[in-house]
Amino acid sequence: MASDTTPVATPGKMTPEEEDFMIEAAFRDLLDGYLKSNHRKKVEIIERAYRFAKEAHKGVRRRSGEPYILHPIAVAKIASQEIGLGSTSICAALLHDVVEDTEYTTEDIEQHFGPKIAQLVEGLTKISGGIFGDKASVQAENFRKLLLTMSEDIRVVLIKMADRLHNMRTLGSMAPNKRYKIAGETLYIYAPLAYRLGLFAIKTELEDLSFKHEHPEIYEEIASKIRESEAKRTAIYTDFATPILEKLDQMGLKYEAKARLKSVYSIYNKMVNKHLPFEEVYDLYAMRIVFDCDDPGKEKTICWNIYSAITDLYRLHPDRTRDWIAVPKANGYQALHLTVMGPDGNWVEVQIRSRRMDEIAEKGFAAHWRYKIGEGDEESELNAWLKTIKDILDNPEPGAIDFLNTLKLNLFSSEIVVFTPAGELLTLPSGATVLDLAFALHTDLGIHAIAGKVNHKLVPLNHVLASGDQAEVLTSKTQLPQPEWEEFLVTAKARTRLRQALRRVRQPLVDKGREILEHWLLDHEIPDTNAVITKLQGTLHAPNRDELCYQLGAREAILGDFLIGPLKKAAEGDGKRRQTGFLSRIKAIGKKMVPGTGEAPVESGGPTQAERPKINPKEIYPLRMTAEGSNFKLADCCNVVPGDDVMGFINDSGEVEIHSLDCPRAQVLKAGFGSRIVATTWESVSERFLAHIHIEGIDRHGMLQELISLISTHLGIDIRKLDIEASAEVFHCELWVRVSDASVITALCEKAREIDGVNSAARVNH
Ligand code: MN
């Protein structure tokens, strides 16, 4: 294949036959390499892909003058021999420019080579025109986008990497301005990505090639200095290595040891970053020992044996031992590193690896996978390592620019990236919920949000998003922001916006409540003292006066006449507080206060389990719920909610068991145990009850959204579970909500039936 700079090509001097011979030879070379690999020998399809591509690119030449087909062949060769990919990827690489540059379509590829190869080619076509097009070169965001969109099949990225490497190797024939663009893009996007994928050799080569094209003079200067200093460097290395090699021989190891050459780019970087002259940088060489070992179980021991042999010879730098065997790097890198003082007084790094580890280090996970072949079939093994890489890619780091910078550190993500339905990308801190997303998109969206749709599934507002999710926010004009929302917001911006919105919505209600309170106190001749307000706050569970007024203004709490007595007592002085557990929360149920209990203050102290008073079946039994518990029990057989028509049954333990009047069991009880039936009345309950509602009708676009918006706009309705099933045109919806009393359910069902398309909406009792 073409060497780095010189455009091959003197096409004019070659006859078509000679040229064809050269092409066939290049392909043979690719095939030979593939046949030497551990992959299954799917020669037939590779051969077909080659013929197809050759035909498609027929007559087309690259800028260098060489026949175009040599490029796909070279890319396939890199994919196969330098990345270690198999036949599917080789075919995709051979065909990677066919759809973009010729008449053929993805459908043609699919027809000839099946869906998998077609998908890869499609992916490659997409990123060549889109993300990696002219506009993209310096946008880190796009880099991320690439990772997210392409990690579906990482082979697309890997083949793209091979494509880029070959383009870099043949960059010399491009016009200078294009050269700079491509080199810059390579350094900024591809080299870090190669590192991320564990393709170290490719990363180093990409960096060097980019550097060479961006700074040809400095590159040449450093390269020539390296050449000049070779003799000296060899002498130093020999001095250092000889005693080590003797030891390794004594240990009976089969190994390969070499001085690790620093790349031009890394020498340059060190010179710039540490302000050192070349002479001081190049001295910092390293040695690499790669040993052969058939038993992976022994690799670790051998590594440490070599380690100890070296430290017997040279002084160890105490802080620079790196054990990447026990804890491999996220990209799969394994090795044991140590740094010792060489005979010339310089620190020398020694890297110890088995052959297997070395392959992983140079070629990334593909090599790792290669070692495992034979244990399973090709696809499942492939998927396993693709998943490993995907896992790495799924954890992008914060800040677009930082992302690239911290790439080397393999940090775990503190951010997620989600897609909007329009395909836009949004970064959010990890742990962000649907509501965070809503506020991130727009405050209006946040305050009117009712639910989310994540990957087409309906989710509540507190659903935690994951990177790569496609997320959408459902809203309703009538929705109001809720204070509880703050609990499931993780972004400061969303919290601030929610608070602002709450204040906007709240203030008029607080003002209204304050007025209500003042009038009521005045009407009942209760003084507005601290003791009174404290008492009232305690009763209504309001942490402060503001909240109390808000509850009153929002009609979440009501000032019932039963409060008069206790408050007057409180006004008289709070020294004689005898009552405990006085009054339940009367929120919501307040308006349904039962006649008869309204005038007189409610008796203090709901009966506890221990001292249950005798129940007189002839009297109406008031059902109460206090902070201490309730004076009744809900029967398991029916889903009763307060306000339902119910009856009590005095069970064997003397508790009042509540049944719906039409509960089949209640019928039995009435018939058999008439004397133990007691009439009841709902008095005060603060708990919310679970109710099951069934809604059905004709499905249409937007039905679900309307239902949800209806439910959520009903103050106090809290959806616990929602199952919707649509088949053909009919939908069934099973809905479980928590409500304070039955009237809410009735109202909800009535409203639901008003929705266009809803045939029935009714509570399910049993
Ligand atoms: Mn290409």
Task: Please tell me the predicted confidence (pLDDT) of residue 554.
Answer: 78
418 against 226, higher pLDDT? 226
Return the sign of the alpha-carbon dihedral for residues 709, 763, 597, 603: negative
Is domain 689-764 given the CATH code 3.30.70.260 in the classification?
A: yes
Assign domain 378-500 to its CATH architecture.
Answer: Roll (3.10)
Per-chain mean pLDDT for the chain: 76
Task: Please tell me the predicted confidence (pLDDT) of residue 758.
Answer: 85
Task: Please tell me the predicted confidence (pLDDT) of residue 126.
Answer: 66
DSSP conformational letter for 741: S
Give catalytic status of residue 561 as yes or no. no
Cα 607 to ligand 1 centroid, rounded to whole Å: 82
Catalytic hit among 100, 292, 312, 645 = 100
Average pLDDT value for residue range 179-194: 79
- End-to-end CA separation in angstroms for the chain: 78
Number of Cα atoms under 13 Å in the Cβ half of residue 566: 26
Cα 94 to ligand 1 centroid, rounded to whole Å: 9
Give catalytic status of residue 100 as yes or no. yes
pLDDT at 224 over 50: yes
| 134 within 8 A of 88, measured Cβ to Cβ | no
Average pLDDT value for residue range 163-191: 84
Task: Please tell me the predicted confidence (pLDDT) of residue 153.
Answer: 67
Task: Please tell me the predicted confidence (pLDDT) of residue 437.
Answer: 93
CA distances from 24 to 3, 20, 67, 304, 667 (A): 18, 6, 12, 48, 91
Cα 194 to ligand 1 centroid, rounded to whole Å: 17
Of all residues in the chain, the percent with pLDDT exceeding 90 is 20
Cα 49 to ligand 1 centroid, rounded to whole Å: 15
Question: At 175, is the pLDDT very low, low, confident or very high (cuts 50, 70, 90)?
Answer: confident
pLDDT at 396 over 50: no
Task: Please tell me the predicted confidence (pLDDT) of residue 622.
Answer: 81
Question: At 716, is the pLDDT very low, low, confident or very high (cuts 50, 70, 90)?
Answer: low
| 536 within 8 A of 567, measured Cβ to Cβ | yes
Number of Cα atoms under 13 Å in the Cβ half of residue 604: 8
Task: Please tell me the predicted confidence (pLDDT) of residue 65.
Answer: 87
CA 188 to chain centre: 24
Cα 390 to ligand 1 centroid, rounded to whole Å: 24
167 against 742, higher pLDDT? 167
Number of Cα atoms under 13 Å in the Cβ half of residue 168: 29
Range name among 191-195, 294-298, 520-524 with the lowest pLDDT average:
191-195
Average pLDDT value for residue range 419-444: 81
* Tokens 């990772």, residue located: 147
Catalytic hit among 101, 110, 381, 687 = 101
Q: Give 2-174's CATH code, choosing from 1.10.10.10, 3.40.50.2020, 3.90.550.10, 1.10.3210.10.
A: 1.10.3210.10
| Ordered alpha helix ranges (H), 79-139 | 87-94, 98-101, 106-129
Cα 72 to ligand 1 centroid, rounded to whole Å: 6
437: left (phi over 0), alpha (psi -120 to 50) or beta: alpha
Cα 159 to ligand 1 centroid, rounded to whole Å: 9
Average pLDDT value for residue range 591-612: 36
Question: At 684, is the pLDDT very low, low, confident or very high (cuts 50, 70, 90)?
Answer: low
6-64: pLDDT as tens digits = 344 455 578 888 999 999 999 999 999 999 877 778 899 999 999 999 999 998 998 88
| Degrees to nearest 5, angle at CA 36 with 35 and 39 | 65
Query: Packing angle between helix 106-129 and helix 43-56, nearest 10 degrees?
Result: 70
Cα 209 to ligand 1 centroid, rounded to whole Å: 17
Task: Please tell me the predicted confidence (pLDDT) of residue 714.
Answer: 61
pLDDT at 377 over 70: no
53 against 717, higher pLDDT? 53
Query: Per-domain residue ranges for the chain?
Result: 2-174, 228-371, 378-500, 502-571, 621-685, 689-764
Number of Cα atoms under 13 Å in the Cβ half of residue 78: 25
pLDDT at 206 over 90: yes
Task: Please tell me the predicted confidence (pLDDT) of residue 353.
Answer: 94
| 187 within 8 A of 171, measured Cβ to Cβ | no
Listed in sequence order, the residues at least 6 apart from 6 whose beta carbon sits closer than 8 Å to its beta carbon are 172
Task: Please tell me the predicted confidence (pLDDT) of residue 27.
Answer: 96
61-116: pLDDT as tens digits = 988 889 999 999 999 999 998 888 888 999 999 999 998 888 899 899 999 999 98
Instruction: Count helices and strands (H / E) in the chain.
Output: 29, 21
Question: Do 228-371 and 378-500 agree at the fold level?
Answer: no
Tell me the CATH number for domain 228-371: 3.30.460.10
Average pLDDT value for residue range 540-544: 80
Average pLDDT value for residue range 360-389: 52
728-752: pLDDT as tens digits = 567 888 888 877 777 888 888 888 8
722 against 62, higher pLDDT? 62
Task: Please tell me the predicted confidence (pLDDT) of residue 74.
Answer: 96
DSSP conformational letter for 173: G
Question: At 595, is the pLDDT very low, low, confident or very high (cuts 50, 70, 90)?
Answer: very low
Task: Please tell me the predicted confidence (pLDDT) of residue 403.
Answer: 35
Range name among 479-488, 610-619, 687-696 with the lowest pLDDT average:
610-619
Q: Which residues surround ligand 1, an ion (CB under 5 A)?
A: 97, 163
Distance CA 399, CA 716 (A): 40
Question: At 422, is the pLDDT very low, low, confident or very high (cuts 50, 70, 90)?
Answer: low
